[in-house]
Amino acid sequence: MSRIFSFIKKLNLSQSCSLFVASFVFITGLMLSFISWSNLNNQLSATQLKSIHQQLQRLTISIAPSLLLHDRISLNVTLQEWTKASEINFIRVLNTSHQAIAEAGQQKKNSIEITQSITQDNLAIGTIKAEANLSTTEVIVSRHLALGLTITVFFTLLAALTTYYTCDRYTGYLAHLSTRVNQWRSDKSIPLSLPEPPSLPELHSVHSAMSEVVEYQGAQDRLASALAQFDQLSTHLHSDLRYAECAILLVQVRNIEDLKKNHDAQVLANTLNEHYQLLTQACKLYGGRLQAVAGGGSVALFGLSKQDAMHAVFAAQLFLGSISEQVNDRPTIEYGLAGHLGKIVRSTTQPEHHLMSDNLEWTASLLANANPAQLCISQSLHNKVVDNQQATWLEAHSLTNFNSEQESTWQLKSLSEKQQALINRQIRHITSTL
């Protein structure tokens, strides 16, 4: 019994339902078949016995004169003809003294013995003892039972297959859905996708709900991919490294958590992608190289080939001006910008790889104290560009550097009229290409 229960526990829902329905149909079919067999057997047996009694009554009428005359030859001939033409196997005629005076036929096993008295003018003149064979009835009811069992087996198989197919239409979709989700959970690089829509109306709501989940997850993945452009760090160590001084521009998204709560992920991802393109073009236009990114901020390096730190300032203003030209229905993304002049470790064979430690950390400290959408630079970068007539600066906060010394920070007040006009033309050109 325990093996049966352990076997049933291993079955899935479709198999369990088909087994239950098949068992129900099979047991019901067996009950109906045996009830029908029993009723038919009783009816046919009763009909056959009634027919035999009628035959014996007619026989008594036929042999009564011969019995009175003690004509055994006539009795035997009549009895032999009667056994050949009826369902009676053996007939014996007894006189009033219960002595056999005539008989015909052959006795067989499992025959039914029937007694019929012979009367003449209401006087008993003898007795007939006959043995009847009900094999014909048994053959008929046996065939009927076999037919019923065959039909029972056929409908049992049909019910099992129909139930399994019907349940599998439900569970099959859920099984495929579970497989897709498990694959996505084991490897997040595989996009979450759904199986074919189910044909059953009951599963449409499940499919619709999962479609919303897939759409939301896809939007989140695209948003994560867009944010990854502002939050990646590429660090490769090489043996051929040397120091190089350059201007570092750090651009960071300030209000990303609020944006995630208040805006659609797909719209936010599209906006971030457009802003990253604008930042890339601004840096490229002024000779900057968009390099490593860390902590949600993109790092651009200027002056690797020529010492012109002002290009970092121009690129920052070009980026801020470009995103301000975006349509008003886009999410408002706040950026912090900070600039610093310092040394980086650079590979001579792979110039795209750089290592920045304290200089990048100091730039991040500047950015933490910068006003939104306003460039803040360090004292070292200010010393480099202060003599340049293309920008004016305002002294901002005073911070403690890594040497525990107070260092001033500066905010860009404005660019020269000529340089601002140039950047405005560049803004129009860049935004028109998007």
Which tens digits make up the pLDDT trace of 8-23?
666 777 778 888 899 9
* pLDDT tens, position by position, 257-304: 888 888 887 888 888 888 888 898 999 888 888 865 555 568 888 876
Between residues 327 and 112, the one the model is more confident about:
112
Per the structure block, which two tokens stand in for 92? 């014996």
Residues 304, 341: Cα–Cα separation, whole Å: 11
Q: Which helix (H) or strand (E) is 379 found in, with range?
A: helix 379-385
* pLDDT tens, position by position, 63-100: 888 878 778 888 888 888 877 766 777 888 888 788 88
Rounded to the nearest 5 percent, the helix, strand and coil shares of the chain are 55, 20, 25
What is the predicted pLDDT for the residue at 428? 86
Question: Is the pLDDT confidence value at 234 over 60?
Answer: no
332-364 b/e with 16+ CB inside 10 Å = b? ebebbbbbbbbebbbbeeeeebbebeebbebbb
What are the domain boundaries of the chain? Answer: 9-137, 229-432
Question: Is the pLDDT confidence value at 6 over 90?
Answer: no
* pLDDT tens, position by position, 167-199: 877 777 777 777 877 877 787 777 777 777 776
Question: Is the pLDDT confidence value at 156 over 90?
Answer: yes
Q: What is the CA radius of gyration of the chain?
A: 53
When pLDDT is averaged across residues 214-235 and rounded to a whole number, the result is 65
Burial (CB count within 10 angstroms: exposed 0-12, middle 13-18, buried 19+), residue 88? buried
Percent residues over pLDDT 90 in the chain:
11
pTM above 0.75, yes or no: no
Question: Is the pLDDT confidence value at 354 over 70?
Answer: no
When pLDDT is averaged across residues 193-206 and rounded to a whole number, the result is 72
What is the predicted pLDDT for the residue at 105? 80
CATH number of 9-137: 3.30.450.20
**pLDDT class for 235, splitting at 50, 70, 90?**
very low
Per the structure block, which two tokens stand in for 151? 């039909």
Measured CA to CA in angstroms, residue 259 lies from 11, 141, 222, 242 at distances of 48, 83, 15, 41
**pLDDT class for 25, splitting at 50, 70, 90?**
very high
What is the CATH topology of the domain spanning 229-432? Alpha-Beta Plaits (3.30.70)
What is the predicted pLDDT for the residue at 30? 92
Instruction: Collapse the DSSP code of 23 into the 3-class scheme (helix H, G, I; strand E, B; otherwise coil) and give the result.
Output: helix
Contacting residues for 194 by C-beta, under 8 A, at least 6 apart: 177, 180, 207, 210, 211, 214
